Every structure is written in structure tokens, then in C-alpha cells.
Structure 1
Amino acid sequence: MTNLRDTARISLVAIAAMGLAACQPGAEQGAETAEGAKSCITEEEVVNAQKAWGDGIVAIGKTFTEEGDYTTAATDHINKFYGYDLDGVVLFKPTLAADEQFRGSFDGALSYFVGGNETFKEDKGFALTPWTAVRWENAGITNSSCDMAVAMGNYWFTPAEGDEIKVEYTIGYVKDDEGNLRMVVHKSSLPYAGS
């Protein structure tokens, strides 16, 4: 005969197993677990978010070149891909930021992409270069916590003229209430050049 303690232990094991199963790769995207939590972030979702982010950077530069409203394009890009409007903090360290290298606010991110903010005098508008392509190569993607995926690797930015530029990244993604991936950590840097 099973006592109350054994029944509780069996129930906890069953609940834990359901949670782990929901977080396995191949769990239905966007599906919710029995407890109502969002499904784990998949590698495919991360790769798709990376491609869309790169396409957005290219679109900002194209809008600038065509003398369109590039500030609105950059604003929309940040709102779509970064979690500044979510509860918590966004840890953003852009590649070409040295004086004010950490951009914990929406305004700091916008300045980095399009320039023109006196608080961030070093910003020339990274997205205005313009870039014609962004190519990604993940060294790895981990989602062991289920609620956050972290990707690390290299991405290459191709300017309208000249050779592509290699940049290293670490990006942490979470899902918003609609199930879209949003960056809450984004560190970019040029590779070590040696002494």
C-alpha cells in the first residue's frame, strides 16, 4: 500500500517529467505546457530570429540610402528584436561602442544604429553604413534553462563596397507574450587582433 509521502513523491516526479518533455527539442513551437508556461525556445527559432535581425539591419541602411525615414525603420527594428519594453533589463554592448559601451536603454540602442544623440557622441549610425548582407555562423546555441536560449558565434557584415567584416557575438533570447524571440543580452565585438 502506498502512503501519502510516496504518492507525493510520485506526483512530483511525474510533474518534473512533463516539464522536461515540454522543453525537449521537437516540442511543439508556441505550445503551452500543462502549467501554462511557454514552450522552450528551439534552435530553429533562434536561426530564424538571427536572419530576420540581419535583414532588418540591411533594411535600415537601404531606407537611409533611399532618403526614407530610417529612424522609424530603426525604431521598429529595436521594438521587434530587443526586449526594452519587457520587464527586466536589456544588456546590449554594441561592437563599435567604446565611450558609452553599454546600452541599457532604448535611446542608447537607437543612437547606436542611427546616430544623432548628443548623449552618445561616438555613434555614427552603425546601420546606416549601409550593409547589403549579414551572414551568421553559430558556434553553438543552448537552451538548457528552457526560458532563455543563448547563441554564440560570428556574423559577417557585407558593406555596399569592400570586404565583409567579421564580428563576434553572444545573444540571449527570451519569448515575449506573443511567442516572438526578443534579445535581452547582445554583446558584439571585433575579433582579437593580437599584439
Structure 2
Amino acid sequence: MYAYDNSEVLFKPTLASKKMFRGDLEGAVSYFVAGNDKYPEDNGFAIGPWADLEFENAGYIVEDNIGIVMGNKHLTQTNGNKVVANYTMGFKPNANGELQIVLHHSSLPYTPV
């Protein structure tokens, strides 16, 4: 899924604040499933109480061998609460032609003070 084995990956998870950039597979896995002492803030985003996920693309660019997309992702928790996060993702094919993620930035929408 992520291209850590054959490319540099730029990953900024939604809910990371202390170690907010994850430049290696270990950091990415920790964000999604937790359990790594190097990243004590991680609670395992992927194993959270999610019931549904929908992507709302604002736009995309495909140029040469890279595709970039941005928009909002709408997550619904098992209790019915809804969460919206903004995302930008970049994809590039590996040597086998399979698309892999080389850019993943996600953040919560701006809330004016």
C-alpha cells in the first residue's frame, strides 16, 4: 500500500502531534495499529471505532507516472458520530505497475478561534 520499500514516503497522519511526520514503515504501522513505544501517542487509528468511510474528492492531477488527489474523508464511528478530515494523497506505480502511496497528508479542518 505505502511505497516505503522502494521510495521516499511523505506521511503526516491526522492525529499525530508529537511525532507528526512518519518517514518509515515502523512509524506508519504504529499510527494505524499502535503498540510501539517509540510513538506513545498512537492509539491505532485503523482499529478505532469506525463503521464507515467515504471520500469526497475536491480534485486530482495525473501527470507522468504520479497521481495526486485531495478532498475530505467522512468517517462514521460505530456510535454514529461523524468525523471529517482533509486529505492529500499521491500515488506512484512500483516496478510491477501496482499503485503505491508516496504522499499522505491528513488533518482536521480549520476551526476559527
Q: TM-score range by the shorter chain?
A: over 0.9
Aligned partner of 1:112 in structure 2 is 31
Aligned partner of 2:105 in structure 1 is 187
1:95 equivalent to 2:22? Answer no
Letter of the 1:165 partner, please give it: V
Letter of the 1:186 partner, please give it: H
More helix by share: 1
- Secondary structure (helix, strand or coil) at the match of 1:158 reads strand
- Secondary structure (helix, strand or coil) at the match of 2:30 reads helix
- Match among 59, 74, 80 for residue 156 of structure 1: 74
- RMSD of aligned Cα (Å): 0.9
Give the 5 Å matches for 1:2-81. 81=1
Aligned partner of 2:44 in structure 1 is 125
Does 1 or 2 have the higher relative contact order (CA < 8 Å, sep 6+)? 2
Letter of the 1:170 partner, please give it: T
What per-residue deviation string (whole Å, max 9, x for no partner) do you get for residues 77-111 of structure 1? xxxx110111x311000000000000011000010
Name the stretch that deviates more: 94-103 or 156-165: 156-165
| Distance in 2 of aligned mates of 1:96 and 1:115 | 12
Letter of the 1:147 partner, please give it: N
- TM value normalised by structure 2: 0.95
Aligned partner of 2:4 in structure 1 is 84
User: Offset of 1:194 from its aligned partner?
Assistant: 0.8
User: Computing the radius of gyration over CA atoms, which structure comes out larger, 1 or 2?
Assistant: 1
The unaligned stretches of length 5 or more in structure 1 are 1-80
| Distance in 1 of aligned mates of 2:74 and 2:60 | 18
Aligned partner of 1:172 in structure 2 is 90
User: Offset of 1:130 from its aligned partner?
Assistant: 2.7
- TM value normalised by structure 1: 0.56
User: Offset of 1:133 from its aligned partner?
Assistant: 1.4
Letter of the 2:3 partner, please give it: G
* % identical equivalent positions: 44
Segments of 4+ moved more than 2 angstroms? none
Aligned partner of 2:60 in structure 1 is 141
